[in-house]
Amino acid sequence: RVTRGMALSFSGAVDEGAEEVARGHEMLTRHGDLDDRRRASSNLSFALLMAGRTGQACDVALEGLAFLRRHGLTASEGAALSANTIVLLRLTGRWAQARALCEELLGKDLPRNRAGNAHLVLAELDIVTDRLPEARVALDTAWRLIDGNDRILLQVDLDIAEAELADARGLPSEALERVESALRALPVPAPAGLEAQVLALGLRVAAGRASPTRRSVDQARGWWQRLARLSGSHSPEVAAYIRSGAMEWARLAPEDVSATHGRAVGPAGTDEVGAGHGDGDDARDIGGPVGWLAAAWTWEGLQRPLEASYAYLAHAEDLLIRRHARAAVEPLSLIHISEPTRRTPISYAVFCL
């Protein structure tokens, strides 16, 4: 059942696949050995992530780790599951838990490849929590430890981390170069979610430049067109990246409103983007506050608070530009502030409340 479910997920039937993997996970919980249970937890958390159920994926991974501990195994002995759990904790905004688990993992004697991956995960966590010098050290260590076939497998992830770090340090040219490197390193065919992540990151960096160059705009146009072509994917995460990417492209080319992008999902997974909130199939909301609100709701539906916070902030900024200051208070109040974020504008906006 687990194998069949994963095949369904990778073929695009992400909801059916996740349910099938969950049934297999339940069977292995009752009758499988320790290694069966560990693999089942990893597979189920990944299937749930593909289905856009990030919070549930994180909970399953944490339960899998707790199961290993009850049987006397440490985080390092389930290093792959531990690293995946740290990523899921980061995505869901549970950064204190992620850091504690990361420190536990790195405190053990790991094989070279596992240690390199753990340092990459730590670097990603340091970037989102504004520990940029520490992120540089962790990323340098990851580059040093990850080699051979592992380097080929993780090259895209390393380049994404480098791009995020350069963007956080205010170095857009370097960040864009890393995005280009990540795109070159994508396997053929590329997983749609990973390709969409890289393209959306490139669009965000390009749109955030104080003075975009003609080359960067032309480059971003190609990235947006490539991202829009992924709209046939059944992945909720890809739909979210397309929505956010559309809004970033609209910042660079507000006159270009002909592109199609995915339907937004409202809070708590509701398909609620009608009156007053814009329809995800209507190109008129690209470039305006309605589009950013729909993007925020899409990320909320995926239980991804940092991406949702970024979209809420952009929504508020557009309202302020249009002199709707009172209306901007609500999206600002929805920004995820349970833990500090690295995005200075978000921190500043919350302070102003």
Q: What is the pLDDT of residues 215-248, one digit of tens each?
A: 889 999 999 999 999 988 888 999 999 999 999 9
Phi-psi label, residue 148: left if phi above 0, alpha if psi -120 to 50, beta otherwise: left
Mean pLDDT for all residues in the chain? 80
Please give the pLDDT value at position 283.
39
C-beta separation of 50 from 193 below 8 A: yes
- The mean-pLDDT minimum among 64-78, 156-170, 177-191 falls in 64-78
H-type alpha helices, 51-147: 54-70, 79-91, 95-106, 112-128, 132-145
Label residue 3 by pLDDT band (50, 70, 90): confident
Band (pLDDT 50/70/90 cuts) for residue 70 is confident
pLDDT tops 70 at residue 269: no
Q: How far apart are the first and last CA of the chain?
A: 50
Pairwise CA distance, residues 337 & 347, whole Å = 8
d(CA 148, CA 132) in angstroms, rounded, equals: 27
**pLDDT reported for residue 284:** 42
For range 321-341, the mean pLDDT: 59
The pLDDT tens digits for 272-297 are: 333 233 334 443 445 555 788 889 88
